[in-house]
Amino acid sequence: MQSKKLIVILPIILVSLLANGVNAQVKQNRLRNTLTGADSCLGIIEDGKNNRLTMTKCANVAGQRWSMTASEKNPQAYQLQTPFTGMDKCLNIINDGENNKVTMAKCDSLPGQFWSVTPSKTLPSNSGYFFVTNALTGASNCLNVLNDGRNNKLTMAKCDNISGQSWRITSTP
């Protein structure tokens, strides 16, 4: 009798979990940059705080797999999260007057957490490279990799035809 009850209850639990999105598949992407090359991906620095970003050698790690959740108000704007920091942390611009520091922060409806992608002006429009801009800083400022020799620091900078601002977004396997 116990096993019959279990057989009836398990499908109900599974349907309930799926309806609430617990097991829903989320498309994940890698973000690569022209300056740093195809072997370098946007990732999270694993330092206990897990809120700083870097460009690092691509690997099959949760901090380099980005989910892009479309805004309900603007389907062209996305919040970016990784499974490493959890779906409650989003890629964010610190609203400090300079508005050029990139971090991970608790997801909210703040403009600094909504990102848009537009075809890069650096390469042909069909190349698959994009500018990544933010609602807080506007369409004239792009996510940028500093060309400082180490080429791993991220900032927001005036959009220009430079390789540190050309991003390729590819699906993870």
Q: Exposure of 122 by Cβ count < 10 A (0-12 exposed, 13-18 middle, 19+ buried)?
A: middle
Give the phi and the psi of residue 27 in degrees, each rounded to 5: -65, 130
Ordered by where they begin, the domains of the chain are: 28-171 (2.80.10.50)
Distance between CA atoms of residues 68 and 115, nearest Å: 9
Stretch 21-33: mean pLDDT:
72
Distance between CA atoms of residues 97 and 113, nearest Å: 16
Closest of 12, 42, 11, 16 to residue 29, by C-alpha: 42
Residue 25 has pLDDT above 60, yes or no: no
- 1 vs 5, 14, 50, CA distance in Å? 7, 21, 49
Q: Report pLDDT for 19.
A: 31
pTM of the model as a whole: 0.82
Distance between CA atoms of residues 133 and 4, nearest Å: 55
pLDDT digits (tens, 9 = 90+) for 47-60: 999 999 999 999 99
Question: C-alpha angle 57/60/61, rounded to 5°?
Answer: 85
| Residue 114, both tokens | 């909504």
pLDDT digits (tens, 9 = 90+) for 91-126: 999 999 999 999 999 999 999 999 999 987 766 666
